[in-house]
Amino acid sequence: MKSATMRAALLEQCAPIDGAPLAVKSVPVPEPGEGGVLIRVAACGICRTDLHVVEGELPVRRSPIIPGHQVVGVVERLGPECRAFRVGDRVGVAWLRHTCGSCSFCSGGRENLCDRAEFNGYTADGGFAEYIAAPADFVYPIPAGFGDIQAAPLLCAGIIGFRSLRLTGLGERAGGWKGARLGLYGFGAAGHVVIQLARARGAEVYVCTRDRERHQALASELGAAWVGDAAATPPVKLDASIIFAPAGELVPPGLAALDKGGVLVLGGIHMSDLPRLPYAAIYGERHIRSVTNNTREDGRAFLSEAARVPVRTQVEVFDGLERVNGALKALRHDAIKGAGVVWIGRGP
């Protein structure tokens, strides 16, 4: 390696993204630990969770911190005892970085709930940098059919969307996915991936989202059966819905749109407070479920299905680390059609 330092977008103090709190600085290149890999970053997707970290909506777990957790790159160096990858392999890094492996959640197949879990870009430095080090056990091979930029949104938006689909339980209903009516509230990076999975499985998708020019237009392009405003009432009762927008006020209209026995999945790591609900809102065995992180099995299963469908990501590229603030600002103001990705593979 030519230098022991790298460029990274560093957050030293949480602040509103409109004030551009991330500064591009020279920092040490991380060392791959035992069983770890050092990855040369090509691209890193942006996510609302990055906004929650930057703006302090999530409790500070490490400061300063390099955010970013949808990383695609190439293995540059192996740590001691790492046999899972070879130098030159193209890999991806997602939100979940490490779990204890021994608690009741980990041993029961629910490592996403581990109390000692660690997260890229939150408890450990993430991917808005030229290099990232990560435990190889939590790194994914990238399917050959996806370019670096197209693959980046799959590593959080895609995986969390996939887990949200699982939690709807639609695959367990009589008739399975065929003809199931799924609602999506919010149509950014996760929504535009989920609609492709759901339609490939045989579901009809009804989309409620603001911004006619970008989000509603993209939903129509991707085959939504109906598209309306964020709190609009779909023309049919829905078997399940997922709320990706971090807006608790969408829960009452989301519940009202469900058929009896329907499931409303809350797909974000952070959401504004839910309003008070009358019992009638959930009567009829309607359910509310939250999504918490992801498991590695979610990631592996999703990437395999995404390659089969195949999922095609709609991406807006922001070239260079200097544009991370602008990318996150665009996300904050719903100015991205599909997913945003920061390209780090070449200099500014």
> Is the torsion defined by CA of 168, 174, 178, 180 positive or negative?
negative
- pLDDT at res. 100: 97
CA distance 228 to 206: 8
* Contact between 29 and 116 (Cβ < 8 Å): no
Reported as a pLDDT band with limits 50, 70 and 90, residue 1 is very low
- What's the maximum distance between 2 C-alpha atoms anywhere in the chain? 65
Two structure tokens written together for 204: 């009809």
pLDDT tens sequence across 223-255 = 999 999 988 999 999 999 999 999 999 999 999
Q: Which amino acid is at 253?
A: P
Residue at 102 is within a domain:
yes
Same domain flag for 99 and 40: yes
Residue at 113 is within a domain:
yes
Q: What is the DSSP letter of 183?
A: E
Residue 54: name the closest of 345, 270, 272, 340 by CA: 270
- pLDDT at res. 299: 97
Q: Show the domain range for 47.
A: 5-155+314-343
- pLDDT at res. 31: 95
Residue at 305 is within a domain:
no
Residue in the structure block whose two tokens are 């090509």: 42
Residue 341 has pLDDT above 60, yes or no: yes
Residue 96 has pLDDT above 70, yes or no: yes
Residue at 307 is within a domain:
no
Same domain flag for 29 and 107: yes
Residue at 57 is within a domain:
yes
Percent of the chain with pLDDT over 90: 94
3-class DSSP state of 196: helix
HSE at residue 254, side-chain half, CA atoms within 13 A, is 31
Mean pLDDT of the region 31-41? 97
**What are the residues whose beta carbons fall under 8 Å from the beta carbon of 81, sequence distance 6 or more?**
34, 35
CA distance 29 to 76: 12
* Contact between 263 and 289 (Cβ < 8 Å): yes
Same domain flag for 49 and 111: yes
Two structure tokens written together for 142: 């990238």
CA distance 136 to 164: 25
Residue at 298 is within a domain:
no
Cα angle value 176/215/311 (rounded, 5°): 50
Same domain flag for 169 and 81: no
* Contact between 39 and 76 (Cβ < 8 Å): yes
Residue 177 has pLDDT above 80, yes or no: yes
Residue 246: name the closest of 72, 110, 74, 49 by CA: 49
CATH of the domain at 116: 3.90.180.10
Number of domains forming the structure of the chain: 2
CA distance 215 to 219: 6
Residue at 301 is within a domain:
no
- pLDDT at res. 346: 55
Residue at 297 is within a domain:
no
Residue 3 has pLDDT above 80, yes or no: no
- pLDDT at res. 257: 97
Taking each helix axis as running N to C, give the angle between helix 189-201 and helix 157-168, from 0 to 180 degrees, rounded to the nearest 10.
Answer: 50
* Contact between 209 and 232 (Cβ < 8 Å): no
* Contact between 168 and 59 (Cβ < 8 Å): no
CA distance 236 to 249: 21
Two structure tokens written together for 175: 């008739």
